[in-house]
Amino acid sequence: MMKYIAIVQSVDGKISKYLDFDKKADAEKHVEIHGGFVFDNNREVPTAHIVVDWDNQTASAKAQKQIDDELVQKESDNRSRAAAAEAKRPSRELQRRGLNVLFSLAKKLDATITVERFMTELENETTNEPITSEMFTDYIARNT
């Protein structure tokens, strides 16, 4: 990140179009040609944390505490979304119970040994891959 930002466009108080420069004169020249204004970014704050007031042609960097709080909140939101997605996925135990119907059918088809082997392999499996009826039918096809 460079020390001077030529802010050319903003939307809802956020920078949407810019170019950064090492020298203020270069940034000012860019603004003369393309419009906008120059922001002196001494703290070298990422553009996502700069608040723009386009009407007054000013910008200000958020306080470091506010930036840190936003990052913590974003991380917390990401963890919450991941936990919610995990909660929606049925547990392996529920999946096994759901496959019991298939197992009973297989037993009726005299594939009892195959079903027992499949269950044993499921117990030994360490992945979190969802169990599907296709897995079971493929297993039966391979092992009968």
Sequence ranges of the domains in the chain: 4-63, 92-143
- How far apart are the C-alpha atoms of 6 and 28, rounded to whole Å? 7
DSSP SS3 for 59: strand
Residue 90: name the closest of 120, 125, 129 by CA.
Answer: 129
Residue-level pLDDT at 29 = 95
Residues pairing with 115 in the sheet: none
Residue-level pLDDT at 4 = 92
Query: How do beta strands 4-11 and 14-21 pair?
Result: antiparallel
Residue-level pLDDT at 108 = 63
Averaged in consecutive runs of 10 residues, what is the pLDDT profile of the chain (144 residues)?
88 91 94 93 82 88 79 85 71 63 63 64 64 70 69
Residue-level pLDDT at 28 = 94
